[in-house]
Structure 1
Amino acid sequence: MAGSALAGGTGVVVTWIVARGLGAEQAGAFFAATAAFVLVGGCAKLGTQTGLVYWPARLRATGREHLLGACLRTGLTPVLVLATLLGAAMWIAAPSIAHLTAAGSPHVVAEHIAGLRILALFLPLQALTDTLLTATRGYKAMRPTVTLDRVLRSALQLLCVGAAGVATLWVGVTLPAFALAWAVPYLPVTVLAAVALRRIYLTGKPARFRSRRSERLDLRRDFWRFTGPRALASVAQLALQRVDVLLVAALAGLAPAAVYAVAGRFVVLIQFANQGISQSVQPRLAEALAVGDRRTANHLYQTATGWLVLVTWPINLMVILLAPVYLGLFGPGYRSGTPVVVVLACAMLFATGCGMVDMVLAMAGRTSWNLANVLVALVVTVGLDVLLIPRYGALGAAIGLACALMANNLLPLVQVGRAARLHPFGRGTLAAAALSVACFGVLPRAVLAVAGSGPAALALASGLAVAAFGAGAWLLRGRLALGAFNPRQLSSRRTD
């Protein structure tokens, strides 16, 4: 969670530097280029973000550790090959992508093409980094993900993009320079991720036990039968998160795309918090479901959802309260995105209240259901974006994404309840929701109603909200299962 907070915070600062260092048009082109980069990288990963956690956990739980090496090769090799091919395709298609999202400005189109091609060179590294770190989590090791991705990559991105931003004070640093600064940290992180996975694999490798060829063939078949739907679902999920930026750029222009990207940047904090919790729970949940332990699985799901609500609902509620202040940090022209912030924050309140329901459905083996749900959500967001963006601009995209998030959480919530008999609404979830709404929803607005809406009143309301929330979390620590973070308990568990 600390690593996720750091990564989310540095992501917001990087967005601020780009928005300040480039004009609105070039900033919009930069955000469109990185959105295309993430989308294509998601295609290259082939859904292994789930398969390389689910299968190692399942192999260990069922006493087949000798197949772990074959499992890793089955997942990693196709990703490397496909990422290289897609990187080359992105290089070739850069002019088409740029003309689609930056039409009408020849200078920005040229800069956009150069930025896309720089990102295309780093595409294999991006796909490999995520896949290698996913494999380490399959061994229940969170430290490589935190230290290499959340801390090292985020810090290097901040330093490199910050250096490019400082350089704009003296020389004309352009979009390609910012793209290079943003992407180059993937090089050292990929190397270190490979070293970390090799060390973990060799430590847990069974001695003198060779797998049979028939076992490896069965594993490959089962691996891709499970992972195949997730490959499509992960691409659709990324499209759900990124296609709106591209559609705003294409249908409304680069300046509205920059406003939309900045207004929705706080969502990255929510996504990192979700990842930080769900990635920790994922291998344990897979093991529990593999042996039919529904009670443990439900406990994991409900506890993790309570923590997620406790972390993310205060952020969403404060962003709603301070939306003009938050957007003003990026420049006065971005305050027009206040309605976008409110719509997206309300949608994230609903989504986080359902917990990591997509991951639970996948760990239950229902990857085809997961694919269908994400495709429905993608159709919702694209359909509403095409209808609403030409008329409402960035707000239309926010409405489309909000409706898609509701569909993408309601459908799996019903499916998980019916098929796996799991739900996220435990005592901790309800306590975290009530505490967050009382402290960050009701209390600040009561203070502002009395003291006015000036800067001093906002600071007072925020301070009281944080203090009340801290006190409430301490009083409810048993119901919220916060004792799990007790250093003495952690030490005793490691000793055991």
Structure 2
Amino acid sequence: MGPYPLVAHVTATEDRAGAGLSRVLRGGVLNMAGAAVGAGLNLAVIVTITRAFSPETAGLLFSATSVFLIAATVAGAGAPDGLVYFITRLRVLGRAESVRRLLRVAMGPPVAAAGLLGVLMVLFAEPVARALATEDAETYLRLLAAFVPFAVMVDSALAATRAHHDMTATVLVDKVGRPLAQLALVAAVALSGSAGLLALAWAGPYLPAGVLAWFWLGRLLTRAAPAPRRGGAPAVTEAGTGTDAAPDTPDGLRSDGSVSPRVFWSFALPRAVAGVAQMGVQRGGVVLVALLSGLSGAAVFTAATRVMVLGQFGNQAVLSAAQPQFAEQLATGDHTGVRSLYQAGTAWLVCLTWPLYLSALVFAPQVMSLFGPGYAAGVTVLVVVCSGQLVGSALGMGDLILAMTGRSTLNLVNNVLALAANVLVCVALAPALGATGAAVALVASVVVRKVLPLLQLRKRVVLHPFGDAVMLAAGSAVIWFAALPLLTVGLLGQVPVALAVSIAVGAVGHLATVWRLRGHLGLRLRS
């Protein structure tokens, strides 16, 4: 049976496709609830900033925080994805006792890199301020620099909890607690009228979030620790005594069940570059618009893309729950389970995100008026972004599956190509079209990142994004959140009453339809 005799038992009891779907759905439901709250809180933060401060001040904060998030992603060095990938394997193979050692391997370099990048942000704050033509940028960047290590700690600790199928920490700490604290602090700063404290109000909650995330993980590891063997004898594998010098096995683990730094970072570092590319796509447009079209344009672009970010909370809810299950299925060769989960997960994404994007398309003028009178220029940006996100949701989670196969290099190439498409199109269009040009660039990058993995996975796992479940989910969303709103607007016009009626009736109709079709959509909490 090889060095891991527990594999047969685990795969026989936990890796059935139905059980996997149920477990992912339970985690996804919790994440979706947290995502809904977190989305509302993050939107409230943006609206508070745009309403209380000038577009220039808002654009400066959005640009500075984009630099912060890119720096945190760079410093993370792919450790969160590496932790999910290897902790899942350690648990599947009955080696949970090696998780603490893995955390020591995974956390040292990212924390050191975060400190270094914080220093660089301080050193380069003045040149960046000159490029943006505002001295306040120097203050913002220097304040944000102190919190980069805490952002890295939050991401890594919560990734480790998700690898244990614990979604509660991610929901309470990151999706609800941190944005709630940001909203409270930003509102206080808005009332005081001191724009100089905005950066501190936005970044400050990362410190308690980091402490809470690691405390939660510590308790989880204590509960998951295996019972000591009789007589206190150490575990001995078939391959030897389990020393640190044990050679690597084909699946990346040493014969004693631990993960060597070489194996961990050979997986994580390509993911790090891929993560930086993804963050560059999400946040780089804000910085580029600020440099090429001014801070006001950056504020408009950020406000208009908030709907995309709201949808990403839904995406992350499903992806975070599905990631460890995909890793387990691929580790045990359960390709049927992978295809089943991919189809169901894509249908869930469509059910969750299409109502948001379709509603924003129909009521784009009203959505942009939420941010204040100076943001009407973002209507076109909103339409472009939502159209691209509809396509992206329907193409599903191929990029996540590619990463969980261990093919980090291909995933890296895809994300770099997506970033290149984003930058090239943005540089070409943003000087003339401003935020609209950046929106077109964003859509181009989404298409590149979603299509390439489906082509690259064909030889291992053939995935079809447009199955019956996806078509049913899309049909329900189009009927209740496109056809019905358009009819309502035709009767009542672009007025708040039309928006309220459409959302209320559409939500009830969509939920009823999804519930009626729950069997076809894989929405069963019990297998």
Separation in structure 2 between the aligned mates of residue 235 and residue 72 of structure 1, nearest angstrom = 21
CA–CA distance in 2 between the matches of 1:57 and 1:425? 29
Q: CA deviation at 1:153?
A: 0.9
- In 2, the alpha carbon distance for the partners of 1:255 and 1:452 equals 30
Question: 1:417 and 1:146 mapped to 2: Cα distance?
Answer: 34
Structure 1 residues 445 and 247, CA, compared in 2 at 3 Å: closer, same or farther? same
User: Do 2:363 and 2:494's aligned partners in 1 also have CA atoms closer than 8 Å?
Assistant: no
User: Which whole-Å CA distance do the structure 2 matches of 1:457 and 1:198 have between them?
Assistant: 50
Q: Distance in 1 between matches of 2:62 and 2:373?
A: 19
CA contact (8 A) 2:102 2:259 kept: no
Cα distance in 1 for residues equivalent to 2:496 and 2:66: 35
Question: For the residues of structure 2 that align with 1:309 and 1:341, how far apart are their CA atoms?
Answer: 19
The one-letter code sitting in structure 2 at the alignment partner of 1:185 is P
Task: Note if contact 1:133-1:144 (Cα within 8 Å) is conserved in structure 2.
Answer: yes
Asked if 1:41 corresponds to 2:72, the answer is yes
Q: Relative to 1, partners in 2 of residues 1:454 and 1:275: Cα closer, same or farther, differing over 3 Å?
A: closer
Q: TM-score, length-normalised on structure 2?
A: 0.87
**1:91 is paired with a residue of what secondary structure?**
helix
Question: What does residue 458 of structure 2 align with?
Answer: 417
Equivalent positions of 1:335-354 (< 5 A) are 335-354=376-395
The answer to whether the Cα contact below 8 Å between 1:428 and 1:479 also exists between their aligned partners in 2 is yes
Q: Tell me which residue corresponds to 1:462.
A: 503
Tell me, yes or no, if structure 1 residue 334 matches structure 2 residue 369: no
Find the counterpart in structure 1 of residue 108 from structure 2: 77
Alpha-carbon distance between aligned partners in 1 of 2:204 and 2:276, rounded to the nearest angstrom: 23
Distance 1:228 1:455 in 2: 48
1:197 and 2:217 aligned: yes
Please state how far the C-alpha of 1:309 moved relative to its aligned partner: 0.8
- 2:186 aligns with one of 153, 161, 167: 161
Shift of residue 136 of structure 1? Answer: 1.2
Question: Post-superposition shift, 1:219?
Answer: 2.5
1:364–1:420: 8 Å Cα contact kept in structure 2?
Answer: no
Residue 417 (structure 2) aligns with: 376
Q: Name which of 191, 194, 204 aligns with 1:184.
A: 204
Matched, 1:52 2:52: no
Given residue 474 of structure 2, which amino acid in structure 1 is its aligned partner? A
Q: Which residue of 1 aligns with 2:94?
A: 63
1:236-275 to structure 2, matched below 5 A, reads: 236-275=277-316
AA of the residue aligned to 1:293: D
Q: Which of 32, 39, 51 is matched with 1:20 structurally? A: 51
Instruction: Decide which of 320, 343, 362 is 1:279's aligned counterpart.
Output: 320
Q: 1:242 deviation in Å?
A: 0.8
Q: Is 1:431 aligned to residue 461 of structure 2?
A: no
Contact 2:86 2:259 in 1 (8 A): no
What is the CA-CA distance between 1:423 and the residue it aligns to?
3.7
| 1:271 CA drift (Å) | 1.1
TM, length-normalised to structure 1: 0.92
Which residue identity does 1:134 align to in structure 2? Answer: A
Q: Which runs of 5+ in 2 are unaligned?
A: 1-31, 236-241, 247-253
Aligned counterpart, 1:403: 444
Aligned AA (1:145): T
1:30 to 56, 61, 71: 61
CA contact (8 A) 2:78 2:275 kept: yes
The Cα shift of 1:35 comes to: 0.3
Change (3 A) 1:49 1:443: same
1:116 aligned to 2:157?
A: no
**Number of paired residues?**
475
The alignment partner of 2:333 has SS state of: coil
Is the 2:75–2:113 contact (alpha carbons within 8 Å) kept by the matching residues of 1? yes
Instruction: Select 2:155's aligned residue among 112, 120, 130.
Output: 130
RMSD over aligned Cα, in angstroms?
1.7
CA displacement 1:204-258 (0-9 Å, x = unmatched): 2233546421246862221111112101111111111111100100001111111
1:474-489 equivalences in 2 (<5 Å): 474-484=515-525, 489=526
- 8 Å CA contact 2:77–2:271 kept in 1: the answer is yes
1:133 maps to amino acid: L
Percent sequence identity over aligned pairs: 39
- Contact kept in structure 1, 2:41 and 2:176, CA below 8 Å: no
User: Is the CA contact 1:303–1:426 (under 8 Å) kept in the aligned structure 2?
Assistant: no
Q: Secondary structure at the match of 1:420?
A: coil
Q: Does residue 93 of the first structure (1) align with residue 124 of the second (2)?
A: yes
In the other structure, the counterpart of 2:427 is 386
Deviates more, 1:446-455 or 1:290-299: 446-455
- What is the CA–CA distance in structure 1 between the aligned matches of 2:215 and 2:197, rounded to whole Å? 29
Instruction: Quote how far apart the aligned CAs of 1:446 are.
Output: 2.5
Q: 1:461 to 1:63 in 2, by over 3 A?
A: closer
* Structure 2 residue corresponding to 1:10, chosen from 41, 55, 71: 41
Contact 1:28 1:258 in 2 (8 A): yes
1:358 pairs with 2:399: yes
Once the two structures are TM-superposed, the CA of residue 2 in structure 1 deviates from its matched residue by 0.8
> Matches of 1:382 and 1:15 in 2, distance apart?
25
Residue of structure 1 in register with 2:168 after alignment? 143
Mapped to 1, the partners of 2:153 and 2:494 lie a distance apart of 48
Shift of 1:259: 0.6
CA deviation after TM superposition for structure 1 residue 61, in Å: 1.7
Q: Measure the CA separation in 1 of the matches of 2:166 and 2:87.
A: 12
| Alpha-carbon distance between aligned partners in 2 of 1:81 and 1:456, rounded to the nearest angstrom | 53
Which runs of 5 or more structure 1 residues have no equivalent in the other structure?
A: 104-108
Q: CA deviation at 1:385?
A: 0.7
User: Matched residue of 2:351: which SS?
Assistant: helix
Mapped to 1, the partners of 2:515 and 2:157 lie a distance apart of 38
Name the structure 2 match of 1:106.
none
Higher helix share: 1
Query: C-alpha separation between the residues in 2 aligned to 1:445 and 1:471?
Result: 20
